[in-house]
């Protein structure tokens, strides 16, 4: 299948005149109608940046979600105790200093003084304690299973000090105190409320450099400068506008014509990467990469995939190298195993996919027959995020691959909110496509894919897979005192998970994040969504 046949690829987009109709096709019509778009060139000197995203986030409360677009918006509003630089080093944010006990179980944070919430209330250690114990430990997709495993107690001996005590050491704890995994929320707005339905989830109040302005559903989200930010010289921008552009094929043209100033890899169709790299007006960042895996999650309670042989059959049937070449334009690596290959220190090549599941349609057909699946008699359902072009493109290759071995796939492209409900709440699917960021450590980002999960939180293990030995090893891998012990646990996990195969890793992602050269100071952090206080726009 060639990319020109993709239904979301507009072949004549470059020749269309810059009309209001074209702006509407890009999802930019609302700005033009509101009179904002013509003002952007004049507003540039005043510091307005327009960032492209793909759809409305399901929430802006990062304490309960790891949704990428939610993180993109809210990382400018909320803050964590630390942020990570491109070399994974923790840097001060709401915490100015910290110490770790010799046994790795006690973390003492000194908080920044004089910080105000956007509504004028004082920030204090009470907010940190409340967030860690009442929000993250219970509701965050990545933090909750970790906190449960290591046992977390939090004390706030005074307004500027927080002491976190772990029952077991947890190697990446400090790295997890970023805005994406530990966003500090205002206790005075959340305490005593239903956190999942609190109005602040859609109109967040933070301590960050930008304040929530307005949200025009399906069109844009506007943030405005926090004039009372704790760093008095920052932020340099007056506004950030997130422009929602649903059609993937329209985002890069919007970037190249200057209608938007930044487009992150998550929203970028891979076939457009060569075009971006050749454009001298753009500044792409390539090579700073947080390991991330794209995978197929099976519902092991579905009639077909309850049988492990059927799951193995798909591992033989799906041409992962073709997906990397055609969908990702080679800017990825074929899946190596349960945790990908982004962390070389834990990779167990002896049981890796290259040896265990090479592309072999004949083997796939034989395994499906053993699983009782008669050729061309069964259809399985595969929902995926319709706003992500890479999802659509790989789904078509997967459909073609599986049809060739006698299994029909019904592709179900869904809006992200509908997809989350179908997969994580109702568990109404046979297999689904997803991607998880590691957030810098496998214990932070990947544990949630395999640990037993009886809840309905988004972006977690919705496969129904539960293995006590896997849970035990995941806990050991997270809490072992040194990397060698952690690696041993992860290698043993791959022996089990590469065999049980509740999820099939399709590829490891490599990223290209891009900004206009009119912006300076972009991408200072490991995560491109972070640290926008220091971004400037040329006049």
**Quick check: is 200 in a domain?**
no
The pLDDT confidence band at residue 4, using thresholds 50, 70 and 90, is: very low
* Exposure string over 73-98, b if 16+ CB within 10 A, otherwise e: bbbbbbbbbbbbebeeebeebbbeeb
Lowest mean pLDDT among 28-42, 162-176, 371-385, 411-425: 28-42
Structure confidence at residue 313 (pLDDT):
98
**Quick check: is 67 in a domain?**
no
The yes-or-no verdict on residue 2 having pLDDT over 50 is no
Structure confidence at residue 482 (pLDDT):
85
- At which of 146, 169, 189 does a domain end? 189
The CA-to-CA distance between both ends of the chain, in Å, stands at 45
The yes-or-no verdict on residue 32 having pLDDT over 50 is no
Please tell me the distance from the alpha carbon of residue 169 to that of residue 134, in angstroms, as a whole number: 21
* 172 & 300 share domain: no
* 124 & 32 share domain: no
Please tell me the distance from the alpha carbon of residue 157 to that of residue 169, in angstroms, as a whole number: 22
> Which is more confidently placed, 28 or 161?
161
**Quick check: is 344 in a domain?**
yes
Structure confidence at residue 3 (pLDDT):
30
**265-277 tens-digit pLDDT:** 999 998 999 999 9
Please tell me the distance from the alpha carbon of residue 149 to that of residue 170, in angstroms, as a whole number: 9
* 45 & 181 share domain: no
The yes-or-no verdict on residue 262 having pLDDT over 90 is yes
The yes-or-no verdict on residue 376 having pLDDT over 90 is yes
Q: Is 227 helix (H, G, I), strand (E, B) or coil?
A: coil
Tell me the pLDDT of the chain averaged across its residues. Answer: 91
Lowest mean pLDDT among 35-39, 127-131, 153-157: 35-39
- At which of 146, 171, 189 does a domain end? 189
**83-139 tens-digit pLDDT:** 999 988 999 999 999 999 999 999 999 999 999 999 999 999 999 999 999 999 999
For residues 354-378, give the mean pLDDT. 97
Structure confidence at residue 15 (pLDDT):
28
* 321 & 440 share domain: yes
Range of the domain at 344: 292-509
The single residue listed with the structure tokens 């083997």 is 363
Q: Please, are residues 144 and 97 in contact by the beta-carbon 8 Å criterion? A: no
**Quick check: is 442 in a domain?**
yes
Domain holding 112: CATH number? 3.90.76.10
Question: What number of helices (H) and strands (E) belong to the chain?
Answer: 20, 21
Q: How many domains does the chain have?
A: 3
**45-83 tens-digit pLDDT:** 479 999 999 999 999 999 999 999 999 999 999 999 999
> Which is more confidently placed, 302 or 13?
302
* 14 & 126 share domain: no
For residues 265-292, give the mean pLDDT. 91
Structure confidence at residue 539 (pLDDT):
62
* 179 & 318 share domain: no
* 312 & 378 share domain: yes
**Quick check: is 473 in a domain?**
yes
Structure confidence at residue 290 (pLDDT):
87
* 115 & 228 share domain: no
**Quick check: is 72 in a domain?**
no
pTM of the model: 0.78
Share of the chain above pLDDT 90, in %: 85
Domain holding 326: CATH number? 3.10.105.10
**493-528 tens-digit pLDDT:** 999 999 999 999 999 999 999 999 999 999 999 999
Structure confidence at residue 37 (pLDDT):
43
The pLDDT confidence band at residue 6, using thresholds 50, 70 and 90, is: very low
**Quick check: is 75 in a domain?**
no
For residues 210-220, give the mean pLDDT. 98
The pLDDT confidence band at residue 23, using thresholds 50, 70 and 90, is: very low
List of residues 6+ apart from 426 with CB closer than 8 A: none
Q: 212, exposed or middle or buried, with CB in 10 Å at 0-12, 13-18, 19+?
A: buried
* 120 & 177 share domain: yes
* 171 & 260 share domain: no
- At which of 170, 189, 208 does a domain end? 189
* 107 & 223 share domain: no
**Quick check: is 173 in a domain?**
yes
For residues 296-310, give the mean pLDDT. 98
Structure confidence at residue 171 (pLDDT):
86
* 278 & 313 share domain: no
Domain holding 261: CATH number? 3.40.190.10
List of residues 6+ apart from 117 with CB closer than 8 A: 123, 186, 188, 205, 206, 207
Structure confidence at residue 36 (pLDDT):
42
The pLDDT confidence band at residue 446, using thresholds 50, 70 and 90, is: very high
Please tell me the distance from the alpha carbon of residue 211 to that of residue 224, in angstroms, as a whole number: 5
Share of the chain above pLDDT 70, in %: 91
């Amino acid at each position: 299948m060639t990319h020109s046949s993709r239904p979301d690829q507009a072949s004549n987009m470059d020749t269309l005149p810059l009309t209001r109709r074209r702006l509407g096709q890009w999802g930019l019509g609302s700005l033009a109608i509101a009179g904002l778009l013509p003002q952007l060139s004049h507003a540039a000197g005043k510091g307005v940046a327009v960032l492209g995203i793909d759809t409305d986030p399901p929430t802006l409360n990062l304490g309960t979600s790891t949704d990428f677009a939610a993180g993109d918006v809210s990382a400018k509003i909320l803050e964590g105790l630390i942020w990570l630089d491109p070399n994974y080093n923790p840097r001060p944010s709401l915490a100015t200093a910290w110490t770790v006990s010799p046994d790795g179980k006690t973390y003492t944070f000194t908080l920044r003084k004089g910080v105000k919430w956007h509504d004028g209330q004082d920030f204090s250690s009470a907010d940190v304690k409340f967030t860690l114990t009442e929000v993250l430990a219970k509701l965050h997709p990545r933090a909750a299973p970790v906190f449960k495993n290591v046992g977390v107690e939090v004390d706030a001996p005074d307004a500027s000090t927080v002491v976190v005590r772990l029952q077991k050491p947890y190697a990446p704890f400090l790295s997890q105190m970023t805005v994406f995994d530990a966003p500090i929320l205002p206790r005075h707005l959340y305490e005593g409320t239903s956190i999942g339905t609190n109005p602040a989830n859609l109109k967040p109040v933070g301590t960050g450099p930008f304040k929530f302005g307005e949200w025009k559903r399906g069109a844009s989200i506007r943030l405005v400068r926090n004039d009372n930010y704790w760093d008095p010289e920052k932020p340099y921008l007056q506004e950030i506008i997130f422009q929602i552009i649903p059609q993937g094929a329209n985002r890069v043209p919007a970037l190249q014509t200057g209608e938007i100033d930044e487009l992150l890899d998550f929203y970028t169709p891979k076939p457009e990467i060569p075009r971006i790299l050749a454009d001298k007006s753009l500044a792409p960042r390539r090579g700073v990469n947080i390991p991330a895996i794209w995978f197929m999650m099976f519902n092991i309670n579905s009639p077909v995939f309850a049988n492990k042989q059927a799951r193995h059959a798909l591992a033989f049937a799906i041409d992962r190298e073709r997906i990397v070449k055609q969908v990702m334009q080679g800017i990825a690596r074929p899946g190596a195993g349960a945790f990908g290959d982004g962390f070389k220190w834990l990779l167990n090549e002896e049981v890796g996919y290259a040896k265990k599941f090479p592309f072999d349609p004949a083997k796939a057909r034989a395994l499906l027959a053993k699983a009782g699946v008669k050729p061309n008699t069964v259809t399985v359902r595969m929902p995926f995020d319709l706003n992500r072009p890479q999802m659509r493109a790989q789904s078509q290759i997967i459909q073609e691959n599986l049809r060739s071995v006698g299994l029909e796939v019904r592709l179900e492209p869904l809006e992200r909110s509908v997809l989350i409900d179908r997969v994580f709440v109702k568990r109404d699917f046979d297999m689904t496509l997803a991607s998880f960021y590691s957030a810098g450590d496998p214990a932070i980002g990947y544990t949630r894919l395999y640990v037993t999960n009886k809840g309905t939180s988004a972006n977690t293990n919705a496969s129904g897979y539960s293995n006590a030995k896997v849970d035990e090893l995941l806990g050991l891998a997270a809490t072992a005192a040194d990397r060698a012990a952690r690696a041993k646990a992860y290698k043993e996990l791959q022996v089990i998970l590469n065999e049980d195969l509740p999820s099939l890793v399709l590829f490891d992602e490599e990223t290209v994040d891009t900004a206009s050269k009119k912006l300076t100071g972009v991408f200072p952090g490991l995560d491109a969504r972070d640290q926008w206080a220091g971004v400037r726009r040329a006049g």
